Structure 1
Amino acid sequence: MGLAERRKALGYSQEELAQLVGVDRTTIGRWESGRTRPQPTQRRGLALALEISLQELDVLASPPCTAAGLEAAGQQQPNELQNAGDPDEMIRREFLRILTISGALAALPVEDAEVLVEGVNRGTPADFALMNGHLWQVYQLARSKGAVYPVIQDQLTALSDALAEGRGSNRPLLSAAADLFQLAGEVAFDGSRYSDAAASYSLAASVSKDAGAYDLWACALVRHAYVDLSERRYRQAVQILGVAARLAGKGDTNLSTRHWVASVQAEAYAGLGDLDACERAMDQAESVVDLAAGSVKGGWLRFDGARLVEERGSRYVQLGRLDLAERALQDALHQPALASGQSYRRRGAVLTDLAAIGAKRRDAEQVVAYGNEAISLARASGSGYVARRLLSLRDEFGPLSRDHRVAELGAEIAALSAP
């Protein structure tokens, strides 16, 4: 059943449903045809009108997604991409464009890039993995994450062709596809397209299972848990992270997978108000420092403990341990990656947490100072992640909203998060 079938089952016309949700009839049509997805600010109203949960809405609004559908998923490109010319040439052109505009891979000569693309076109698994690694680098350094998506689509098409034609070993190609679907999910998640993100992560998990890649599989589930965490479904997140932990236990003990799972489990436990479980999970995550070099893949697995100070601070904010939180977060702001502005997303999240501490203390000056800087970073980066954190901050304002400066900050956050 899709959105249209659910609407008809309730006896609504598109016009009637549009009135209930507060959108135009054409918007309902686009949702039902799959051309667009409901924005976060529209999802609750739509779920209420359709008398379903947000989880059920995600299912109805998402395309079917199975491991067997990998080839079809890779080839479902918009018409403008299908008609853009020879796929091999498009991959080469788009990849070289990324190299040119990002500046992130300046160390890779154009000739090397062309050789790499030729290997991808032949279906060489090692070249697919290397290309994916470069795309992850570009994604991490790009201020606008969505700019990477067209190249991800092209890479997925090439992977689908290689699998369909039996070029190369199947298992490494499936692993490369699972890696790529996780990256596609990250782009969607950063853009607040939760249904698309969940679909990508589900497909990544399914393909990882077929590839027998336990660490990839566990990481796909961790990313899927973030969709639940973003909507404060902490118990559901704990459940899926428990499965991820078991999978990580079957994976490569030299990798940091199980430590990343523990770090995200700490966030879920903090959301449930369980201080003891949160601190146990954080302690397990921090043992990542005991691993030898090479425990981080750099793409689908990037957890090296570098963010643990800010993550512990954020967990203490959730738990109301404000003094502990502020010390950790101030330390995090002085870490090189945040102090130098290398990561707008990370710095924006820390600033938002510091503003939240001010809100809990009823300190308008602290709220406005840190909140305004976080908004500036969110605008500069276009990060949906920072925008979502700011929306949660606004929920903390309470009586401070009567202060005109805080009220103006709230209006700025609302404008930033508007669809």
Structure 2
Amino acid sequence: MGLAERRRALGYSQEELALLLGVDRTTVGRWENGRVYPQSPQRRGLAAALEVSLEELDALLVPPHSTAREPVGQQSSEPPKAGDPDEMIRRAFLRILTVSGALTALSAEDAEALAEGVRAGTPTEFARMNSHLWQVYQLSRSKGALYPVVRDQLSTLNEALASSLGSRRPLLNAAADLFQLAGEVAFDGNRYADASASYALAASVSKDAQAYDLWACALVRHAYVDMSEGHCHQAAQMLEAAERLAGRGDENLSTRHWVASVQAEAYATLGDLDACERAMDRAETVRDLTGVSANGGWLRFDGARLAEERGSRYVQLGRLDLAQAALERALAQTALAPGQSYRRRGAVLTDMAAIGAKRRDPDQLVTYGREAMSLARASGSGYVARRLRSLCDEFGPLSRDHRVAELGAEIATLSAR
């Protein structure tokens, strides 16, 4: 019997086992096909979940196919072009991310053995720097510009983790926070594998720190990756787990409201209007919270985007009149004053263009589509580019209009950048 057979015998899917252990589903797949061994802390959890001893677990594991093991959470890709600066930054980023994941899994004794008297920073300093980086991320037109900065912060965090003594929970919280930011930068750049690796690490570390709100937010972000890849049922399962975790978190935070908002998106994609509206109604109770309910970093949901989110859900469900009214309110709220998000406004404009496409109105489609294009070019946002690429699927007969055809050609050029 192999690992997969044992998992199935106990009634677990790969997704369920991954959620139980706080890892990514693809990690379970790699364990089962022998591409990588579980790390020591993961082996203990895996053995417990499968109800076997460590010796029995070793017998279930298939030896890796080669001596060069693939780092956990990192997927293979095509060979990079020699000297490609972006690829070099990405590989350095992933290497440091992998080391961070290994260090957060070390016991206090193992960490002490690695210590060389280097103290790179305190948890308070890391929390302050992470908060600053989230602000820079939100205000930056080009999210990819943060790759080198986040990479450097990960390097500093590695040194602190390796030399930390005593309680490690504050550093684990800082690591889970930083992994989520790393995932956001990767996700905006359409690097889904990198984003998944970052969010899986964030979930695993949050679990170790018993930080339920951080853990729930990591799962929410992972669900976005699933939805972007068309795995909406899988995303819904992930969000159900996030909802349970958020229920164990701080009731003064907006975590459970953000979960509900993203659940509404998943239900809309699945065509379930009633479930979508119930989820949106739960999300809107965020207005009942008093005090500071969002930290501006790994948790930013404060209800300010509810109009555009509801409008986008109605677009997905084909309720165009309801969608347009909500999106017009959202456009008024996202006027490009200093500090407003190009990514956020670009998404609203793309939804307005999609309404034009569904109504077979080329003027509305082209007007809003071109404005969204200009923001995508200005920001270099992979997220807005993805939304525009999806818009092309709605063109239908309007593709015969030369203005629509030109817009489609420009979007194709943008997507290839």
- The answer to whether TM tops 0.5 is yes
- Show the counterpart of 1:142: 140
1:198 CA drift (Å) = 0.5
- Show the counterpart of 1:40: none
Q: How does 1:303-318 map to 2 (within 5 A)?
A: 303-318=301-316
- Show the counterpart of 1:11: none
- Show the counterpart of 1:69: 102
- Equivalent residue in structure 1 for 2:323, among 304, 325, 339: 325
2:238 aligned with 1:221 = no
2:222 aligned with 1:189 = no
Question: Any idea what SS the aligned residue of 2:335 has?
Answer: helix
Classify 1:72/1:192 alpha carbon distance in 2 versus 1 (closer, same or farther; 3 Å). Answer: farther
- Show the counterpart of 1:210: 208
1:360 CA drift (Å) = 0.4
For 2:250, the aligned partner's letter is D
| Structure 2 CA distance for aligned equivalents of residues 380 and 122 of structure 1 | 36
Classify 1:144/1:64 alpha carbon distance in 2 versus 1 (closer, same or farther; 3 Å). Answer: closer
| Structure 2 CA distance for aligned equivalents of residues 71 and 280 of structure 1 | 38
Report the more deviating stretch, 149-158 or 392-401.
149-158
- Show the counterpart of 1:46: none
Classify 1:163/1:67 alpha carbon distance in 2 versus 1 (closer, same or farther; 3 Å). Answer: closer
For 2:399, the aligned partner's letter is S
Question: Any idea what SS the aligned residue of 2:201 has?
Answer: helix
1:64 CA drift (Å) = 10
- Show the counterpart of 2:79: 29
Instruction: Answer yes or no: is the 8 Å Cα contact 2:189–2:381 preserved in 1.
Output: yes
- Show the counterpart of 1:158: 156
- Show the counterpart of 2:260: 262
Classify 1:36/1:137 alpha carbon distance in 2 versus 1 (closer, same or farther; 3 Å). Answer: closer
1:159 CA drift (Å) = 1.4
- Show the counterpart of 1:406: 404
1:137 CA drift (Å) = 0.3
1:339 CA drift (Å) = 4.5
1:67 CA drift (Å) = 7.9
1:231 CA drift (Å) = 2.1
Could you give the per-residue CA deviations for residues 204-263 of structure 1, whole angstroms, max 9, x where no partner exists? 000111111000000000000000111222111100000000000011111000000000
Question: Any idea what SS the aligned residue of 1:334 has?
Answer: helix
For 2:242, the aligned partner's letter is A
Paired positions, count: 324
2:411 aligned with 1:417 = no
Classify 1:212/1:64 alpha carbon distance in 2 versus 1 (closer, same or farther; 3 Å). Answer: same
| Structure 1 CA distance for aligned equivalents of residues 165 and 335 of structure 2 | 43
| Structure 2 CA distance for aligned equivalents of residues 276 and 214 of structure 1 | 28
Question: Any idea what SS the aligned residue of 1:29 has?
Answer: coil
For 1:69, the aligned partner's letter is A
| Structure 2 CA distance for aligned equivalents of residues 259 and 353 of structure 1 | 23
Provide TM-score, normalisation by structure 2.
0.73
Instruction: Answer yes or no: is the 8 Å Cα contact 1:66–1:206 preserved in 2.
Output: no
Classify 1:283/1:251 alpha carbon distance in 2 versus 1 (closer, same or farther; 3 Å). Answer: same
1:340 CA drift (Å) = 2.5
1:70 CA drift (Å) = 3.8
1:123 CA drift (Å) = 2.6
1:357 CA drift (Å) = 0.3
1:69 CA drift (Å) = 1.3
- Show the counterpart of 2:390: 392
- Show the counterpart of 2:332: 334
Instruction: Answer yes or no: is the 8 Å Cα contact 1:326–1:357 preserved in 2.
Output: yes
For 1:415, the aligned partner's letter is T
Could you give the per-residue CA deviations for residues 16-57 of structure 1, whole angstroms, max 9, x where no partner exists? xxxxxxxxxxx84349xxx999xxxxxxxxxxxxxxxxxxxx
Instruction: Answer yes or no: is the 8 Å Cα contact 1:338–1:346 preserved in 2.
Output: no
1:144 CA drift (Å) = 0.8
1:122 CA drift (Å) = 4.7
Instruction: Answer yes or no: is the 8 Å Cα contact 1:123–1:168 preserved in 2.
Output: no
Could you give the per-residue CA deviations for residues 281-305 of structure 1, whole angstroms, max 9, x where no partner exists? 0000000000011111110000000
2:378 aligned with 1:380 = yes
Instruction: Answer yes or no: is the 8 Å Cα contact 1:125–1:169 preserved in 2.
Output: no
Structure 1 vs Structure 2: percent identity of aligned residues? 73
Instruction: Answer yes or no: is the 8 Å Cα contact 2:100–2:158 preserved in 1.
Output: no
- Show the counterpart of 1:49: none
2:275 aligned with 1:277 = yes
- Equivalent residue in structure 2 for 1:299, among 278, 297, 316: 297
Aligned Cα root-mean-square deviation (Å): 2.6
Instruction: Answer yes or no: is the 8 Å Cα contact 1:71–1:161 preserved in 2.
Output: no
Report the more deviating stretch, 156-165 or 326-335.
156-165
Instruction: Answer yes or no: is the 8 Å Cα contact 1:257–1:303 preserved in 2.
Output: yes
- Show the counterpart of 2:54: none
For 1:273, the aligned partner's letter is G
For 1:29, the aligned partner's letter is P
For 1:340, the aligned partner's letter is A
Classify 1:30/1:401 alpha carbon distance in 2 versus 1 (closer, same or farther; 3 Å). Answer: same
- Show the counterpart of 1:113: none
| Structure 2 CA distance for aligned equivalents of residues 63 and 232 of structure 1 | 29
